[in-house]
Amino acid sequence: MTGVPLSWYLILSAVLFTLGIAGFLQRRNIITVFMSIELMLNAVNLTFITFSYQLKQVNGQIFSFFVMVVAAAEAAVGLAIILTVFKNRQTLNIDEVSSMKD
């Protein structure tokens, strides 16, 4: 592999993943949380692709396709849920959607 070393990819991936976690934990807006999840998935995708390229194996790329499919499906379902929640509660604050607690 020429140019960019492996560790840079992994560091970038870890940074993206950590940002995703931080966003997931910190933000209260459901859409931001959702985007944080996408960010984590893509961080994982990046790792898969990196290793696939590094090890000259196609498995990682196939996995990343799977992840994309899941992410797309998740986006569709998740956005639908978010819309329904907003319609019913007029809020996107995730802490107020806690009626399962009791």
Partner 1 sequence: MQLWLIPVFPLAGFLLNGIFGRRLSKAVINTIAIGSVLLSFAWVLKTLAGLGDLSVAHTEQYFTWIQSGTLNVGFDFTVDRLTAVMLLVVTGVGSVIHVYSIGYMAHEGGYYRFFSYMNLFMFFMLTLVLAANYLVMFVGWEGVGLCSYLLISFYFDKKFATDAGNKAFIVNRIGDFGFSLAMFLIVVNFGSLDFGVVFTSVAGKPQGALEAIAFLLLLGACGKSAQLPLYVWLPDAMAGPTPVSALIHAATMVTAGVYMIARSAAIYAHAPAALEAVAIIGVLTAFFAATIGLAQNDIKKVWAYSTISQLGYMFLGAGVGAFSAGIYHLVTHAFFKALLFLGSGSVIHALSGEQDLRNMGGLRKKIPWTFWTMLCAAVAISGVPPFAGFFSKDAILAAAGRHAPWMYWLGVITAGMTAFYVFRAIFLAFFGNYRGKGHPHESPWVMLGPLVILAALSLGGGYFFKVPDFLSPLFPLAAEPDNLAPMLISVAFGLAGIGLAAWFYILQPDLPDRIVATFSGLYKLIYNKYFVDEIYGAAVVNPVVEGSNAVLWKGIDVAMIDGTVNGIGHRAQGIGGVLKKLQSGNIRSYAAWILLGVVVLLSMGVMGDLR
Q: How far is the CB of 4 from partner 1 (least distance, A)?
A: 26
Tell me if 88 contacts partner 1 by CB under 8 A.
no
Q: Quote the CA–CA distance of 38 and 75 in Å, as a whole number.
A: 9
Cβ proximity to partner 1, 65 vs 89, nearer residue:
89
Tell me if 94 contacts partner 1 by CB under 8 A.
yes
Tell me if 58 contacts partner 1 by CB under 8 A.
no
Classify burial at 26, counting beta carbons within 10 Å of its beta carbon; exposed 0-12, middle 13-18, buried 19 or more.
exposed
| C-alpha distance from residue 46 to each of 8, 75, 89 (Å) | 11, 19, 37
Residues that bind partner 1 in the complex, under the rule CB under 8 A: 21, 24-25, 28, 33, 94-95, 97-102
